[in-house]
Amino acid sequence: MGKEKGGTQPTRKKKLAKGRLNHNYNNSGMGIVAVTLPDRLMKYLQDYINENQTKALDEAGAFFAFSKKQFDEAKKEGVVYVNGPAGLICPKNSVDGLAEKLNEIHQNSIKADLAENGKDKIILRELNNHEAFYTQNIDDTANALADYPITKEEILTIYKKNK
Protein backbone atom coordinates (compact mmCIF):
# COMPACT_ATOMS: atom_id res chain seq x y z
CA MET A 1 0.00 0.00 0.00
CA GLY A 2 1.40 3.36 -1.00
CA LYS A 3 0.60 6.86 0.15
CA GLU A 4 -1.34 9.25 -2.03
CA LYS A 5 0.71 12.30 -2.86
CA GLY A 6 0.32 14.83 -0.05
CA GLY A 7 -2.00 12.51 1.86
CA THR A 8 -1.62 10.89 5.23
CA GLN A 9 -3.60 7.73 4.59
CA PRO A 10 -2.57 4.89 2.32
CA THR A 11 -4.18 4.05 -1.01
CA ARG A 12 -5.89 0.68 -0.91
CA LYS A 13 -6.54 -1.38 -4.01
CA LYS A 14 -9.00 -4.24 -4.29
CA LYS A 15 -8.85 -6.47 -7.35
CA LEU A 16 -12.13 -6.97 -9.23
CA ALA A 17 -12.93 -9.76 -11.65
CA LYS A 18 -12.15 -7.68 -14.73
CA GLY A 19 -10.97 -4.33 -13.41
CA ARG A 20 -9.49 -2.57 -10.43
CA LEU A 21 -11.20 -0.64 -7.68
CA ASN A 22 -9.08 2.05 -6.04
CA HIS A 23 -9.91 3.59 -2.67
CA ASN A 24 -8.02 6.84 -2.30
CA TYR A 25 -8.07 8.97 0.84
CA ASN A 26 -7.20 12.64 0.91
CA ASN A 27 -5.89 14.67 3.86
CA SER A 28 -9.36 15.08 5.35
CA GLY A 29 -9.86 11.32 5.41
CA MET A 30 -12.60 11.54 2.77
CA GLY A 31 -12.67 8.46 0.57
CA ILE A 32 -12.63 8.72 -3.19
CA VAL A 33 -13.51 5.63 -5.19
CA ALA A 34 -12.33 5.24 -8.76
CA VAL A 35 -12.99 2.25 -10.97
CA THR A 36 -10.49 1.35 -13.65
CA LEU A 37 -12.41 -0.55 -16.31
CA PRO A 38 -10.96 -3.37 -18.37
CA ASP A 39 -9.74 -2.64 -21.90
CA ARG A 40 -12.76 -4.27 -23.53
CA LEU A 41 -16.25 -4.26 -22.13
CA MET A 42 -19.01 -6.54 -23.30
CA LYS A 43 -20.93 -5.06 -26.22
CA TYR A 44 -24.64 -4.27 -26.02
CA LEU A 45 -27.24 -4.99 -28.69
CA GLN A 46 -27.05 -1.40 -29.90
CA ASP A 47 -23.32 -1.82 -30.53
CA TYR A 48 -24.13 -4.57 -33.03
CA ILE A 49 -26.89 -2.53 -34.64
CA ASN A 50 -25.30 0.94 -35.02
CA GLU A 51 -22.98 0.58 -38.02
CA ASN A 52 -25.41 -1.43 -40.15
CA GLN A 53 -28.33 0.81 -39.20
CA THR A 54 -26.43 3.93 -40.23
CA LYS A 55 -25.58 2.31 -43.57
CA ALA A 56 -29.24 1.33 -44.13
CA LEU A 57 -30.45 4.84 -43.32
CA ASP A 58 -27.92 6.36 -45.72
CA GLU A 59 -28.84 3.93 -48.51
CA ALA A 60 -32.53 4.74 -48.06
CA GLY A 61 -31.89 8.49 -48.05
CA ALA A 62 -33.27 8.75 -44.53
CA PHE A 63 -32.01 11.12 -41.86
CA PHE A 64 -32.89 12.56 -38.47
CA ALA A 65 -34.18 16.10 -38.12
CA PHE A 66 -35.59 17.78 -35.04
CA SER A 67 -36.28 21.21 -36.50
CA LYS A 68 -37.34 22.76 -39.79
CA LYS A 69 -33.81 24.08 -40.24
CA GLN A 70 -32.31 20.58 -39.89
CA PHE A 71 -34.90 19.21 -42.32
CA ASP A 72 -34.23 21.96 -44.87
CA GLU A 73 -30.47 21.34 -44.66
CA ALA A 74 -30.79 17.59 -45.28
CA LYS A 75 -33.70 17.30 -47.72
CA LYS A 76 -33.25 16.74 -51.43
CA GLU A 77 -35.35 18.63 -53.94
CA GLY A 78 -38.18 16.68 -55.55
CA VAL A 79 -38.28 13.98 -52.85
CA VAL A 80 -41.45 13.39 -50.86
CA TYR A 81 -40.63 12.61 -47.22
CA VAL A 82 -42.60 11.03 -44.38
CA ASN A 83 -42.04 11.38 -40.64
CA GLY A 84 -40.94 8.31 -38.74
CA PRO A 85 -40.40 7.73 -35.03
CA ALA A 86 -37.94 9.77 -32.98
CA GLY A 87 -37.25 12.42 -35.61
CA LEU A 88 -36.58 9.99 -38.47
CA ILE A 89 -37.35 11.43 -41.89
CA CYS A 90 -37.52 8.98 -44.79
CA PRO A 91 -38.29 9.27 -48.50
CA LYS A 92 -41.84 7.97 -48.98
CA ASN A 93 -40.75 5.43 -51.61
CA SER A 94 -38.12 3.94 -49.22
CA VAL A 95 -40.24 3.44 -46.10
CA ASP A 96 -41.20 -0.22 -46.60
CA GLY A 97 -37.71 -1.29 -47.70
CA LEU A 98 -36.08 0.56 -44.81
CA ALA A 99 -38.46 -0.96 -42.27
CA GLU A 100 -37.66 -4.46 -43.55
CA LYS A 101 -33.92 -3.75 -43.55
CA LEU A 102 -33.98 -2.37 -39.99
CA ASN A 103 -35.90 -5.43 -38.78
CA GLU A 104 -33.34 -7.70 -40.49
CA ILE A 105 -30.47 -5.77 -38.86
CA HIS A 106 -32.14 -6.11 -35.46
CA GLN A 107 -32.58 -9.88 -35.82
CA ASN A 108 -29.02 -10.39 -37.15
CA SER A 109 -27.63 -8.27 -34.31
CA ILE A 110 -29.38 -10.47 -31.74
CA LYS A 111 -27.85 -13.54 -33.41
CA ALA A 112 -24.39 -11.92 -33.33
CA ASP A 113 -24.79 -10.97 -29.66
CA LEU A 114 -25.79 -14.55 -28.78
CA ALA A 115 -22.93 -16.02 -30.81
CA GLU A 116 -20.31 -13.73 -29.26
CA ASN A 117 -21.53 -13.67 -25.65
CA GLY A 118 -23.92 -16.56 -25.03
CA LYS A 119 -27.23 -16.45 -23.20
CA ASP A 120 -25.88 -16.49 -19.65
CA LYS A 121 -23.56 -13.50 -20.13
CA ILE A 122 -26.23 -11.54 -21.98
CA ILE A 123 -28.73 -12.18 -19.20
CA LEU A 124 -26.22 -11.14 -16.54
CA ARG A 125 -25.31 -8.01 -18.55
CA GLU A 126 -28.97 -6.99 -18.76
CA LEU A 127 -29.68 -7.84 -15.10
CA ASN A 128 -26.87 -5.47 -14.15
CA ASN A 129 -27.87 -2.85 -16.71
CA HIS A 130 -31.44 -2.78 -15.39
CA GLU A 131 -30.28 -2.89 -11.74
CA ALA A 132 -32.20 -6.08 -10.99
CA PHE A 133 -29.91 -6.95 -8.07
CA TYR A 134 -30.66 -3.55 -6.53
CA THR A 135 -34.41 -3.48 -7.22
CA GLN A 136 -34.83 -7.24 -6.73
CA ASN A 137 -37.05 -7.27 -9.82
CA ILE A 138 -36.29 -8.89 -13.18
CA ASP A 139 -39.23 -7.47 -15.16
CA ASP A 140 -37.21 -4.70 -16.86
CA THR A 141 -34.58 -7.27 -17.84
CA ALA A 142 -37.24 -9.59 -19.25
CA ASN A 143 -38.69 -6.70 -21.27
CA ALA A 144 -35.25 -5.76 -22.61
CA LEU A 145 -34.66 -9.36 -23.70
CA ALA A 146 -38.15 -9.91 -25.17
CA ASP A 147 -36.78 -10.22 -28.73
CA TYR A 148 -34.14 -12.76 -27.68
CA PRO A 149 -34.83 -16.50 -27.50
CA ILE A 150 -34.53 -16.22 -23.71
CA THR A 151 -37.26 -17.14 -21.25
CA LYS A 152 -38.12 -15.44 -17.98
CA GLU A 153 -37.22 -18.73 -16.23
CA GLU A 154 -33.68 -18.53 -17.69
CA ILE A 155 -33.39 -14.94 -16.48
CA LEU A 156 -34.58 -15.94 -13.01
CA THR A 157 -32.04 -18.80 -12.89
CA ILE A 158 -29.13 -16.45 -13.68
CA TYR A 159 -30.51 -13.87 -11.24
CA LYS A 160 -30.61 -16.40 -8.38
CA LYS A 161 -27.19 -17.78 -9.27
CA ASN A 162 -25.58 -14.30 -9.08
CA LYS A 163 -27.62 -12.77 -6.26
pLDDT in tens, 120-130: 999 999 999 99
Residues 27 and 64 in one domain: no
Q: Other CB atoms closer than 10 Å to residue 37's CB: what's the count?
A: 10
- Average predicted confidence (pLDDT) for the chain: 84
Residues 20 and 70 in one domain: no
Residues 59 and 121 in one domain: yes
Whether 152 contacts 160, CB under 8 Å: no
Residues 20 and 54 in one domain: no
User: 87: helix, coil or strand?
Assistant: helix
Closest Cα partner for 108 from 55, 60, 65? 55
Residues 79 and 153 in one domain: yes
Residues 66 and 112 in one domain: yes
Residues 69 and 23 in one domain: no
Q: How many domains does the chain have?
A: 2
Residues 51 and 31 in one domain: no
Residues 101 and 152 in one domain: yes
Mean pLDDT along residues 32-45 = 63
DSSP 8-state class, residue 149: S
Q: Tell me the residue range of the domain where 74 lies.
A: 45-162
Mean pLDDT along residues 135-147 = 97
User: 73: helix, coil or strand?
Assistant: helix
